[in-house]
Every structure is written in structure tokens, then in C-alpha cells.
Amino acid sequence: MDKIILGAKMTNSIRTYILITCGGLIQGMGMSLFLFPHSIPSGGAGGLAVLLNYWVNIPLSFALWIVNFSLLVAAINWLGNASAIGTMYGITITSLSVHLFNFSLYRPYDSVWIDLLIGSILLGIGVGILLSQGVSNGGMGVLALIISKVKDISPGKPLFLLNGSIFIFTASIIAWPIVIQALLSQWISTRMVDLIFQLKAQVIDTPLLALRRRKK
């Protein structure tokens, strides 16, 4: 019985990390190919990464890893060990993905708005997969969770304020249209996150709840 339980846990862990890998790759692809070429921050961490790249010419992939890892280390006491390790792994995969896809591609539609749409959809799918596995995608979400616990409030408001502040600061340094583009990207990507969670509930959670009720 112990071997069966251990095998089931191992299978579940392998499945989780495969999904985290997929989520990190998809998120990084959306950022590197479609958002970052137009200096559109994917979130607060993405905005800081764009600024580091702009100021000191640090590669975007490495700058993103530095920002995310620093925020995660600051919040390590508020996360469980499994979630923290999974988040570190997801952040690393995302940064590697940004580096991997950091090359010029010929696209028939060289439009910032088309790139924003495609990039935001991919970003949302990647983040949704990561969050559905119980790990954070890093960035300001970590700080928002800390603030929500300390202040006993929903993390939505501090997350919006943190990301919005960084968007405005990034725009003041690079270009003001980035604020509108970044907020639109956030809206599209968060809708995709909601869609991922709805699909998860329909495909996985609902059948499991029905099965548990039958057993009772």
C-alpha cells in the first residue's frame, strides 16, 4: 500500500513539473517574441526587467530572473517549501524560455497591437497553467500576497497598484503609450488565466468531486 501511495505521489509530482515546464515555456515565448520587442512589460517584474535592460543593457532573460528570484527570496517565509521550489523552477524555465526565443522572426503582421494580442494570450495561458499547479509565476504577485496577508485584504488591489506604479514608471522612462498597452495586456492575460481555471474546474475538479460524493 505504501508503495502504491509513493508511486501515485511521484506520478503526480512528475505531472506537475511537466505542466510547470509547459507553463514557463509558453509564458516566456509570449513575452520574448511578442511583448518585449515592443518594450511592453508583462507585469511588474517584466517592467523592471525592461528597465534593467534599458539602463544597463542586461539581457532580458537574466534581468527577469534576477527580479523574480529576488522577490521570491524576500517572500520565502510566506510560501510553503513545495510552492517555493515549484515557483523557483517555474521562474527559471520562464527566463530560459525568454532567452531561447530571443531572436528575430519574420511575421507578416508587424503590428504592435497584433503582437500585444498574441503575446497576452500566450502570457495568460502560461501564467494560468503555473497558478493551476499551485505555484506563483513570480513578480509582483508574491509581494501582493504578502501585503494581503499582513493587511488582511484581497491581493487584487495591491497587485494592481504595484503593477500600475511600475507601468507608469517604465512609461515615463521609455514611452507613455506603454501604460495603455501594458494595462490592455494585463486585462487580456488575466482573462486567459480565468479561462484556464474554468477549464480545470470542468475537466478535473468537477469529475473528482462527483467521484468523492459517490464514495460517500
pLDDT in tens, 101-147: 886 655 555 788 999 999 999 998 998 898 788 777 777 767 776 77
Total Cβ atoms within 10 A of residue 187 = 11
**CA angle centred on 20, ends 19 and 23, rounded to 5°:** 85
The per-residue pLDDT for 211 is 47
Nearest to 68 by CA among 47, 86, 51, 91: 91
Per cent of the chain over pLDDT 90 is 14
DSSP states along 39-58: T--SSHHHHHHHHHHHHH--
2-6, 133-137, 148-152, 157-161, range with the lowest pLDDT? 2-6
DSSP states along 103-150: S----S---HHHHHHHHHHHHHHHHHHHHHTT----THHHHHHHHHHH
pTM given for the model: 0.77
Task: Tell me the mean pLDDT in the region 163-169.
Answer: 83
